[in-house]
Copies of this chain bind each other. A is one copy, B any other.
Amino acid sequence: MVPEIELTTEEKIIEAAEEVFTSKGKSGARMRDIADKAGINQALLHYYFRSKDRLFFEVFKRIVPRLFPGVFAVLDEDIPFFEKIERFIRGYIEVVEAHPKFPIFIIQALGNSPERLADTILSTFRGLGIDPVEAIRRDLRREIEAGRIIDIDPAHLMVNIISMSAFPFIARPLIERIAFPGRSELYDRFLKQRKEHVPKFIIDSIRKG
Residue of B nearest to A166 (CB): B167
State the copy count for this chain.
2
Which chain B residue lies CB-closest to A203? B205
Does B25 contact A197, Cβ atoms closer than 8 Å? no
Interface of chain A: mostly helix, strand, loop or mixed: helix
Cβ A163 vs Cβ B156 within 8 A:
no
What 1/0 mask marks residues of chain A from 145 to 163 whose CB sits below 8 Å from any chain B CB? 0000010110110111011
CA–CA, A153 and B168, complex, Å: 15
> A43 — which chain B residues lie within 8 A by C-beta?
none
Interface-facing stretch out of A45-53, A82-90, A107-115: A107-115
Evaluate whether A163 and B155 lie within 8 angstroms (CB atoms) in the complex, with A118-B177, A125-B178 already known. Answer: no
Is residue A27 contacting chain B, with contact meaning CB distance below 8 A? Answer: yes
Q: Which residues of B contact A160 (CB under 8 A)?
A: 164, 198, 201
Within 8 A of B (CB), among A19-41: 24-28
CA distance A125 to B150 in the complex (A): 38
Interface size on A, residues (CB 8 A): 52
CB distance A112 to B162 under 8 Å? no
Which chain B residues lie closer than 8 Å to A150 at the CB level?
204
Give the CA-CA distance A156 to B204 in the complex, in Å: 14
Which residues 86-114 of A have a CB within 8 angstroms of B? 103-104, 106-108, 110-112
- In the complex formed, the residue of B with least CB distance to A150 is B204
Q: Is B206 within 8 A of A204, CB to CB?
A: yes
Q: Which chain B residues lie closer than 8 Å to A28 at the CB level? A: 25-28, 112
B25/A174 in contact, CB under 8 A: no
Residue of B nearest to A101 (CB): B111
* 14 A/B residue pairs, CB under 8 Å, sorted by A: A24-B112, A106-B174, A108-B108, A121-B174, A122-B177, A133-B179, A153-B193, A156-B194, A156-B201, A159-B175, A163-B168, A167-B170, A170-B170, A201-B205
